Structure 1
Amino acid sequence: MNALADVARAAGVSKATASRALSGRGYVSTDARDRVVAAASAIGYVASPNAASLVTGQTFNVGVVIPFINKWFFGEVLEGAERALLDCGYDLTLYNLTDDPDDRDRIFDFFLARKRFDAVIVIGVEPHVSRVWSPLRLGKPVIGIGAAPDGIRSVSIDDVAAGALAADHLLRLGHTEIVFLGGDGDEGDEWLGSVHGRRLSGFTSALRAAGVPAADRHWPAEISLPGGMDAALRLLGDPRYRPTAIFAGSDEVAIGVIIAARQLGILVPAELSVIGIDGHDYAPMFGLTTIEQHPRDQGRRAVEILMGELGASAAVPNEPGAEIMPVRLVTRSSTSAPGLRSGEIV
Structure 2
Amino acid sequence: MVSIDEVARAAGVSSATVSRALSGRGHVSPATRQKVLQVADELGYVVSSAASSLASGRTRNIGVMLPDLHRWFFSTVLTGISEELSRRGYDLTLYNVTDDAEVRQEIFSSFLRRRRVDGLIVVAMELDADEIDQLTGLGIPVLTLGGSNPRLPGRAIDDHGVAHLAVEHLLRLGHRRIGRIGAEASFNRDFHVPARRENGFRDALAEAGLSADPQLCVTADFTVEGGHRAAKSVLGRSASAPTAVVAFSDEMAIGALLAARDLGLEVPGDVSVIGIDGHDLGPLFGLTTVDQHPLGQGGRAAREILELIEGTEALPTDDADADLPYDLVVRSSTSAPRIESVSAPH
* Structure-2-length-normalised TM-score: 0.81
Partner of 2:294: 295
CA deviation vs aligned residue, 1:267-295 (integer Å, no higher than 9, x gap)? 32233221111222222222212112322
Partner of 1:256: 255
Report the 3-state secondary structure (helix = DSSP H, G, I; strand = E; otherwise coil) of the residue aligned with 1:202. helix
Distance 1:84 1:219, change over 3 A: same
Distance 1:332 1:29, change over 3 A: closer
Gaps of 5+ in 1: none
Deviation at 1:251, TM superposition (A): 0.9
Partner of 2:107: 107
Report if aligned partners of 2:149, 2:317 keep a CA contact under 8 Å in 1: no
> Counterpart amino acid of 1:154?
G
Partner of 2:331: 332
Q: Which moved more, 1:175-184 or 1:17-26?
A: 17-26
Provide the aligned C-alpha RMSD in A.
Answer: 3.5
Provide the rounded CA distance (Å) in 2 between the counterparts of 1:118 and 1:215. 50
Report if aligned partners of 2:147, 2:157 keep a CA contact under 8 Å in 1: no
CA deviation vs aligned residue, 1:229-284 (integer Å, no higher than 9, x gap)? 12222333443653322100111110001111211223322332211112222222
Partner of 1:200: 198
Partner of 2:273: 274
Report the 3-state secondary structure (helix = DSSP H, G, I; strand = E; otherwise coil) of the residue aligned with 1:324. coil
Report if aligned partners of 2:148, 2:319 keep a CA contact under 8 Å in 1: no
Partner of 1:305: 304
Distance 1:3 1:170, change over 3 A: closer
Provide the rounded CA distance (Å) in 2 between the counterparts of 1:2 and 1:285. 48
Partner of 2:64: 64
Deviation at 1:7, TM superposition (A): 6.8
Aligned: 1:52 with 2:48: no
Partner of 2:73: 73
Partner of 1:210: 208
Q: Which moved more, 1:10-19 or 1:160-169?
A: 10-19
Deviation at 1:214, TM superposition (A): 3.4
Distance 1:176 1:2, change over 3 A: closer
Provide the rounded CA distance (Å) in 2 between the counterparts of 1:249 and 1:334. 15
Report if aligned partners of 2:120, 2:141 keep a CA contact under 8 Å in 1: yes
Distance 1:45 1:289, change over 3 A: closer
> Counterpart amino acid of 2:73?
F
Report if aligned partners of 1:141, 1:318 keep a CA contact under 8 Å in 2: no
State the number of aligned residues: 337
Report if aligned partners of 1:177, 1:244 keep a CA contact under 8 Å in 2: yes
* Structure-1-length-normalised TM-score: 0.81
Gaps of 5+ in 2: none
> Counterpart amino acid of 1:179?
G
- Identical amino acids, percent of aligned pairs: 45
Partner of 2:89: 89
Deviation at 1:90, TM superposition (A): 0.8
Provide the rounded CA distance (Å) in 1 between the counterparts of 2:170 and 2:338. 13
Provide the rounded CA distance (Å) in 2 between the counterparts of 1:12 and 1:265. 72
Report the 3-state secondary structure (helix = DSSP H, G, I; strand = E; otherwise coil) of the residue aligned with 1:235. helix
Report if aligned partners of 2:80, 2:299 keep a CA contact under 8 Å in 1: yes
